[in-house]
């Protein structure tokens, strides 16, 4: 295998989800296993929902977990910028190419018209695809219509009668009929790219060799392959990870457990325990062993051992695993880990733990650390 380049592309529209952390982890382990690059890309084209505090949450979460990016907004790199909001000129270049080659077109349907179409398809129990009547409109005529209808968008002209087949590194061959894809939107305007288009342009520009993501993206893959083909790009290799499920085997959500990494960190879970727990949600190295260091995971990891079926998030197992890691800590390490929680609870006065709940004794944290360091 040539040196791989993988990417973790979160959107800063909320706190980092535990499922996204699992995706970042699998990408990181794959890259490190083969001496490749782990790239962090911030997909912030959703201008209304993207927030700086959510971006900072992503940076801090990866630092805390020890999943350090080789390239990204903080680290820099040869293929930046690493925020989509700073890559507009790149997107304009490729949108212009698609429009000029007749691979994309301007769609002048109003939102109300599209909603009505969606309702009609739903009532008829038909797939929600949009074969657009404007797909064969000439450039000159489209330019005239743009003046009268400024709220147009740009769609990809999906080839008809095609079967798109790709080799998933986890699931084997997967195929889709292009007639069931429809003419999907790729940009609100020349300055506002949408997900399907931006991700294909970025993966090519950043020389991403492997796209490792959740199985909920499988239906997006034929769109990305067709876009890459239309732009003359080689398609990366694809691997789609199994979903993380709740105990009832539905997709993990807040009704099952906490969903953001920040919540688990605040609850006292250790980064080593979370990494160890999450990697076993969908990956099995074989045998009964369950406790692995990060270095051991890098050596052992392979996509061939990733399962296809969903993995159940078992909080009891996470608690057990966290306990195993806590028991390995020295008194000094435990004292340091406890201090932020005691401080937040108002139980620390200088270096002393105050007498909570009427206990008639206090413990000097610094003395505990000193005693442990003397052995």
Residues 6+ apart with CB under 8 A from 70: 31, 37, 38, 39, 77
Residues of the chain under the 50 pLDDT cut: 350-363, 368, 371-372, 374-375
Whole-number Å distance between alpha carbons of 31 and 234: 20
Just list the catalytic residues: 254
Instruction: Say how many C-beta atoms besides its own lie within 10 A of residue 243's C-beta.
Output: 19
Helix or strand holding residue 36 (H, E): none
The pLDDT tens digits for 329-372 are 998 888 888 888 877 777 665 444 444 433 333 445 555 455 44
H helices within 108-220, ranges in order?
Answer: 111-123, 139-148, 195-205
Is 284 within 8 Å of 302 (Cβ atoms)?
Answer: no
Whole-number Å distance between alpha carbons of 20 and 316: 21
pLDDT at 358: 39
Closest among 58, 57, 56, 74 to 24, alpha carbons compared: 58
Residues 6+ apart with CB under 8 A from 256: 246, 247, 248, 313
Is 342 within 8 Å of 348 (Cβ atoms)?
Answer: yes
Count of CA atoms in the C-beta half-sphere (13 A) of 326 = 13
Tokens of 71: 């390239």
pLDDT at 353: 45
pLDDT at 127: 87
1-76+242-328: CATH class: alpha beta
Count of CA atoms in the C-beta half-sphere (13 A) of 222 = 20
pLDDT at 341: 80
Whole-number Å distance between alpha carbons of 72 and 244: 26
Helix or strand holding residue 227 (H, E): helix 221-231
What residues does each domain of the chain span? Answer: 1-76+242-328, 329-375
pLDDT at 336: 85
Is 248 within 8 Å of 220 (Cβ atoms)?
Answer: no
pTM of the model: 0.89
pLDDT at 345: 74
- For 172, left (φ over 0), alpha (ψ -120 to 50), or beta? left
pLDDT at 158: 97
Q: Which long-range contacts (CB under 8 A, 24 or more apart) does 49-57 make?
A: 49/11, 49/13, 49/14, 50/11, 50/12, 50/13, 50/85, 51/12, 51/13, 52/12, 54/12, 54/13, 54/14, 54/15, 54/16, 55/12, 57/12, 57/15, 57/16, 57/262
pLDDT at 256: 64
On average, the pLDDT of the chain sits at 90
pLDDT at 251: 83
């Amino acid at each position: 295998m040539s040196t791989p380049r993988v990417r973790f592309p979160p959107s800063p529209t909320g706190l980092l989800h535990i499922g996204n952390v699992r995706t970042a982890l699998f990408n990181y382990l794959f890259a490190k296993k083969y001496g490749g690059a782990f790239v962090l890309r911030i997909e912030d084209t959703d201008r209304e929902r993207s927030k700086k505090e959510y971006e900072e949450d992503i940076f801090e979460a990866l630092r805390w977990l020890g999943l350090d990016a080789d390239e990204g907004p903080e680290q820099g790199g040869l293929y930046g910028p690493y925020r989509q909001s700073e890559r507009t000129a790149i997107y304009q270049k490729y949108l212009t190419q698609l429009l000029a080659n007749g691979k994309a077109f301007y769609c002048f349907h109003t939102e109300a018209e599209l909603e009505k179409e969606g309702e009609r398809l739903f009532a008829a129990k038909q797939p929600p695809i949009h074969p657009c009547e404007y797909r064969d409109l000439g450039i000159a005529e489209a330019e005239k219509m743009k003046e009268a209808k400024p709220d147009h968008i740009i769609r990809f002209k999906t080839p008809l009668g095609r079967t798109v087949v790709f080799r998933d590194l986890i699931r084997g061959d997967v195929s889709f009929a292009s007639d069931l894809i429809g003419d999907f939107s790729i940009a609100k305007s020349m300055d506002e790219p949408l997900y399907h288009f931006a991700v294909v342009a970025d993966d090519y520009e950043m020389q991403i060799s492997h796209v490792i993501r959740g199985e909920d993206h499988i239906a997006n893959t034929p769109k990305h392959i067709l876009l890459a083909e239309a732009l003359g790009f080689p398609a990366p290799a694809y691997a789609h990870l199994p979903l993380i499920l709740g105990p009832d085997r539905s997709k993990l959500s807040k009704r099952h457990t906490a969903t953001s990494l920040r919540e688990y960190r605040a609850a006292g879970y250790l980064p080593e325990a979370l990494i160890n727990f999450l990697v076993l949600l969908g990956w099995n190295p074989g045998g009964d062993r369950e406790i692995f260091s990060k270095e051991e995971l890098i050596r052992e990891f392979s996509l061939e051992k990733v399962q296809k079926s969903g993995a159940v998030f078992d909080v009891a197992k996470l608690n057990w695993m966290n306990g195993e890691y806590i028991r390995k800590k020295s008194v000094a390490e435990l004292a340091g880990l406890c201090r932020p929680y005691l401080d937040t609870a108002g139980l620390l006065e200088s270096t002393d733990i105050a007498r909570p709940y009427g206990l008639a004794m206090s413990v000097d944290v610094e003395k505990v650390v000193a005693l442990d360091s003397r052995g």
